Structure 1
Amino acid sequence: MAKQALIKKRGRPVLTVVLVLIGLVVTSVAVLRLVPPPMTFLMVSRAIEGEGLSYRWRSLDDISPRLVEAVIASEDSTFCAHHGFDMKAIEKALKANARAEKRGGKRIRGGSTISQQTAKNVFLWPGRDWIRKGLEAGYTVLIETLWGKRRVMEVYLNVAEWAPGVYGAEAAARHWFGKSAADLSPREAARLAAILPSPRRYNASSPGPYVRRRASRVLAAMGTVRNDGLAACVLG
């Protein structure tokens, strides 16, 4: 009995630390439901590398609805239907990457939703290790629960990288098109969505053949998003 009591006593500080950490995490997520996120790990690391930093927060009401439709069409067509994870997309990504590895290639596809990308961008460091992926899953559940879809989209559009040192829809619109995010045309929105997978590689204002083709597909898919109400949880 004495040994069990000693073990129980020694375990209490560990449990206390765990509970405090969980409380801090939940509190930080709850706070960011109301206030704009500060600079992210990615922004800081890129700035330290000398890329500079252009980050301008804008309310979702001050961002063109066409950009919402474009990123849903391009990045996560089931955004309004899932609860943070698209299991079908994850399964497809795993199968595609397995086939690529068998051929001696690299991973070629990801299955992350907009919610997962937001959790990663705001709260975590860049990388693909399993610890970060586990934390990403936890944060995804929290933001889906505490923020809701509209806030998730608002934060995503404000912290996404759109060019070296350029973060958020407002900075991206001014960098690539010399205008506010509120004034983006459907074609411009489609081009911004088209470069999201590799924003450090592609050009939205003077796109090459690949970005033009991808933007055309996104532009066509935006009609489906609008007609089928796939952005209703954000724009409804």
Structure 2
Amino acid sequence: MSAPEKIVAESRTEFGKGAARRIRRENKIPAVVYGHGNEPTHVILPGHQTMMALKHGGANALLALEIDGAEQLALTKDVQVGPIRRVIEHVDFVSVKRGEKVTVDVPVHVTGEAGPDTLVVTENAVVSVEAEATHIPEVFEVSVEGAAAGTQVLAKDLDLPSGVTLLADEELLIINVTEQISAEALEAELAEAEADAGIEHDPSQDEIAEAQDEAQAEDAAQESGEASDSE
């Protein structure tokens, strides 16, 4: 992880939905910093700079917030994004200290192309680890280049940087490379599942639907031909 970006934060004294809306209209972001037994610190952050810092820092972005002239390291714990405009509406941080160990969930990123006729399944997209607050891995990269069906990557197989301790179960399945199922096999599995569930499959309904599709296709082709003749 690179050095935390420094951001000057304003102390927040007004609360409520109306105050939050006014803050966002000024292209700023309301936030709160928890931790170390202190009372939560409510702040206002510059919108664009904070957005870029969070984007660059990933899921566990670490920021150096300057609050009333004092620097506070703040680890991102929750980012609330508006459902329509997709802008950051609020951020929760946890205060940390240099050298302090923290527990975080680090995302898994799959790279490479597995072998032919395979399907790569990410069974667990994040892995829980303990790391120094200023040395949190942004992602764990897992290469499946040329991997054959049956290949499995467990938590213990991850390449952990120095100082990072795995907290998840060592046998936790992260990536599973399976044999790609054919359309015929998938149809057979669906038919078997329907039979087990007591669902009767009526072939005549499929034939009717197929005939309707063919008729619609013929009508569309005929209309297209008539339109071409009239031009």
Q: TM-score range by the shorter chain?
A: under 0.3
Structure ranking higher in helix proportion = 1
TM-score, normalised relative to structure 1: 0.21
TM-score, normalised relative to structure 2: 0.21
Q: Of the two, which has the highest radius of gyration?
A: 2
Structure ranking higher in strand proportion = 2
